[in-house]
Amino acid sequence: MTAMHPVERALDVALIVMRNGGSTVLADRVFGNILKGFKRDKVPTVWRLDFVAATSIVEGRPSTIYRPVGVIGINLVRASGAARLSERVARGEIDTAALDSEIERVKTLGVPYNRRVMLAAGACTAAVFSQFPGKDWGALGISFVAAGAGQFLRLLLQARKMPVAGRTFVCGVLSACIAAVGLRLNLSQAAPWTMIASVVYMVPGLPLINGFIDALSHRFLFVGLERIANAVYIFLILAVATAFASTVIM
Amino acid sequence: MDLVAVLVNSVLAGLLAGGLGILLTAPLRYIAPAFVCGFAGCLSRDLLVSCGASQNWSTAVAAAFLVFVAVAIIREPTVPPVVLFSGVLPLGAASSMFNAIMDLMRVSTLKGEALNEAAVTLIASAGRVFTVSLAIVLGLGVGLAFVRFLGRRKVWEGV
């Protein structure tokens, strides 16, 4: 076993966290836990949203390993699984020889909700959001249908690995256009809330959460700010999609 | 105080928090806590507003209260941030954020009185986004500080 092996395994597990919606704080803790399981001290690491670099001493010479982060998706069960695995490794409950198979097991953990549940959650979240200004059955119906259709398309495009920005815009335009048609037909008078509710299922909650967690930790301030900037960018895309639908249809 | 309206609003906030939890792929065991946090946060804010407190201070207190609720109901060493944020998002100023961005796009094309009106709306929306977000961050910060001081529970390091 080379000296780089523990660092590589630790990066593998930490990257599962990064790629599945975990914060950089959590990824760094996972990295440290795995090294602890190998009885190794923490090594200097650079965390970014596009790559992670860790330096180790191999045969008396410093050696740096880079790993691309790649596309960041959302699967908190997998991120949580990686965090638990690292804690078990740190406590010595998992033999380091069995770690590779455990990493593969965590990588295969799926999203806990199937397509239908995600579709229903998107539609219902939008319908609930539309009711905050007051009971309005028209707004509820419009938001439910608009968000449901948008979420359906979003899941399809997600399966085809379409980039986030394009996917958000296309689904945002579809949802906002359906909402605008409903408002044009006078099904509801609460125009701004209904339009916003129709795209609320795409609000970038996780990048915002992780951005604040990273930024508040101070150690990952720039990664956190990058995540927050990404979230603002998604908000901007949604606003442009909504404005486009309002201008064209209403 | 219209208690029924406050309760209805709180249930809606709970449902919204639970729905957001699912959309954020939070594990199933955290969906009920997200609902309770969303409900408790909105209920405490609306009750405080009904009693005459300002919207921003009520939001800050509600965010802090939500942290205590999350710690009380989740019997694990770490309280996952996804529960806290799903619960706190209904308190946020999402609509003001959208309005601010849309007003920002509108002001570039308007003239005269319409421009003045849009500019005032833009400033109001942006101000609301800022103050509500600040109140939430302040409330969460105070709540987390208390939890760490009293029970030494970890909050941020989970999923």
Taking only residues 141 to 180 of chain A, the set having a beta carbon closer than 8 angstroms to any beta carbon of chain B reads: none
With a cut of 0.90, is the ipTM above it?
Answer: no
pLDDT score recorded for residue A169: 96
- Specify the pLDDT at position A122: 96
Long-range contacts for A56-63 (Cβ within 8 Å, ≥24 apart)?
Answer: A56/A3, A56/A4, A56/A7, A57/A3, A58/A2, A58/A3, A58/A4, A59/A3, A63/A4
Chain A neighbours among B 86-145 (CB < 8 Å)? 86, 89, 94-95, 97-99, 101-102, 105, 137
pLDDT at A215 (0 to 100): 87
Give CA–CA dist A238/A127, Å, rounded: 18
| Cβ under 8 Å to B: A residues 74-103 | 74-77, 79-80, 83
Could you list the pLDDT tens digit for every one of the 250 residues in chain A?
Answer: 455 588 999 999 999 999 998 899 999 999 999 999 988 888 889 999 999 999 888 778 888 899 999 888 888 889 888 988 998 999 889 887 788 899 999 999 988 899 999 999 999 999 999 998 888 899 999 999 999 999 999 999 999 989 999 999 999 999 999 999 999 999 998 888 899 899 999 988 788 888 888 888 888 999 999 998 998 899 889 988 988 998 888 7
What's the pTM value of the predicted model, to 2 decimals? 0.85
Question: Chain B neighbours among A 1-60 (CB < 8 Å)?
Answer: 21-23, 25-26, 29
Q: What is the pLDDT of residue B159?
A: 55
Note whether A76 contacts B24, CB cutoff 8 Å: yes
**How many residues belong to chain A?**
250
User: Per the CB < 8 Å rule, is A192 touching B98?
Assistant: yes
Distance, CA of A18 to CA of A232 (rounded, Å) = 20
Whole-number pLDDT of residue B68? 92
- The single-letter code of the amino acid at B145 is A
Q: Of A122, A193, A209, which is closest to B82 when you measure between CB atoms?
A: A209
Q: Tell me how far apart the alpha carbons of residues B33 and B31 are, in angstroms, rounded to a whole number.
A: 6
pLDDT over 70, % of chain B: 94
Can you list the residues of chain B whose pLDDT is less than 70? 1, 152-159
Whole-angstrom Cα distance, residue B83 to residue A122?
17
pLDDT at B16: 94
Angle at A27 between CA A21 and CA A30, to 5 degrees: 130
Predicted pLDDT of residue A2: 53
Query: How would you class A187 by CB atoms within 10 Å of its CB: exposed for 0-12, middle for 13-18, buried for 19 or more?
Result: middle
With b for 16 or more beta-carbon neighbours within 10 A and e for fewer, the A76-89 pattern comes to bbbbbbbbebbbeb
Interface test with A, best of B98, B128, B129, B142 (most A CBs within 10 A): B98
Q: Which of A20, A115, A128 to mutate to test the interface with B (most CBs of B within 10 A)?
A: A128
